[in-house]
Amino acid sequence: MKQQARMPASNVQRLLPEAVAPSAEVLNAYWRKMHRRALVHLGSRPLTLVRAARGRVFFHTGGFTELPDAVHSLRIEKREGGEGTRLWVDSLDGLLGLVDLGVVELHPWQAKVEDIETADLIVFDLDPGEGIELRFVTETALALRDFLQRHGFDSWPKTSGGKGLHLMVPLQQPTSHDDARKASRLIADAFAATDERYIVSSAPARRKDHIFIDYLRNGRGTTAVGAYSPRARPGFPVPCP
């Protein structure tokens, strides 16, 4: 996989020691086949990136010394203060350019680059603990969809490329990231009260035999893996609507 000559330690936000990265050839072939569908969900959004470089797979942080022409850079104000950089793409060439940078996974913001301070989606990650079967996860996704409909929200599901399912909720009105996160917490709390097997706590001690209704993917700069993004996992799983 083509990489930058140097990978400063400051670019490694979090290592993923169990990750398995596909080759650049596999990724390029995949994006050429799937880019039109993928860009509907990944295009023109600030991206959190999972990269493979020098035998390591990691969440990337910080900028790059140089970028392919079709990969765009966006300066942002960090929540903790100071400035940061996010990349975004809007074309097949952009996706292929990310491969040249060693990017495997794309985790888009719930906002477009034209207005990064306005959330246009809410995400619920249904994350099953040990002892929970896929059938119950699917039933939970359907129940949450119906719950959202009763409260005036449409939604659509996608796989996560892992054990869980995501429910994506388009927002019809301009909404701040803080308000989107507050709304997601209120919905998660209310829905979790409908079944004792649902929890809104991420504490590991409580996860067994429960589904974590994860609303924490919402908020400015907080992300979940995007639809049609490859995962750095064995078997090349891909989240799909």
Task: For 110-133, write each residue's pLDDT tens digit.
Answer: 999 999 999 999 999 999 999 999
Residue 93 and residue 29 in one domain = yes
With respect to residue 95, please indicate whether it lies within any of the assigned structural domains: yes
Q: Please give the pLDDT value at position 55.
A: 86
**H or E segment at 184?**
helix 177-192
> Is-contact 125 224, C-beta < 8 A?
yes
Is 179 strand, coil or helix?
Answer: helix
With respect to residue 157, please indicate whether it lies within any of the assigned structural domains: yes
With respect to residue 1, please indicate whether it lies within any of the assigned structural domains: no
Cα separation, 146 vs 235, in Å, equals 32
What are the Cα distances from residue 29, in Å, to 33, 49, 82, 206?
A: 6, 19, 38, 41
* Counted domains in the chain: 2
What are the Cα distances from residue 239, in Å, to 160, 176, 189?
A: 5, 26, 26
Residue 90 and residue 127 in one domain = no
> Is-contact 73 67, C-beta < 8 A?
yes
Among 108, 132, 149, the domain-final residue is 108
Residue 132 and residue 186 in one domain = yes
Q: Which of 133, 123, 46 is nearest to 87 (CA)?
A: 46
> Is-contact 57 104, C-beta < 8 A?
yes
| DSSP label of 49 | E
Task: For 21-55, write each residue's pLDDT tens digit.
Answer: 999 999 999 999 999 999 999 999 999 999 998 88
With respect to residue 224, please indicate whether it lies within any of the assigned structural domains: no
Residue 10 has pLDDT above 80, yes or no: no
CB-side neighbour CA atoms (13 Å) of 1: 25
Residue 132 sits in a domain whose CATH number is 3.30.70.3300
Q: What confidence category does residue 8 fall into, taking pLDDT thresholds of 50, 70 and 90?
A: low
With respect to residue 84, please indicate whether it lies within any of the assigned structural domains: yes
Among 83, 108, 133, the domain-final residue is 108
> Is-contact 240 227, C-beta < 8 A?
yes
Structure tokens at 110: 């719930």
- 239: β partners: none
Task: Please name the residues in contact with 77: beta carbons below 8 A apart, sequence gap of 6 or more.
Answer: 83, 84
With respect to residue 221, please indicate whether it lies within any of the assigned structural domains: no
Residue 2 has pLDDT above 70, yes or no: no
What are the Cα distances from residue 217, in Å, to 84, 92, 96, 99, 200?
A: 20, 27, 27, 25, 12
Q: Please give the pLDDT value at position 63.
A: 84
What is the residue range of 73's domain?
A: 9-108
With respect to residue 229, please indicate whether it lies within any of the assigned structural domains: no
Q: Is 38 exposed, middle or buried (0-12, 13-18, 19+ CB in 10 A)?
A: buried
Q: Please give the pLDDT value at position 1.
A: 46
Residue 225 has pLDDT above 90, yes or no: yes
Q: How is 186-237 classified by DSSP, letter by letter?
A: HHHHHHHTT-TTEE----GGGTTT-EEEE-TT-STT---PPTT---SSTT--
| DSSP label of 23 | P
Among 46, 78, 108, the domain-final residue is 108
With respect to residue 80, please indicate whether it lies within any of the assigned structural domains: yes
Residue 208 and residue 143 in one domain = yes
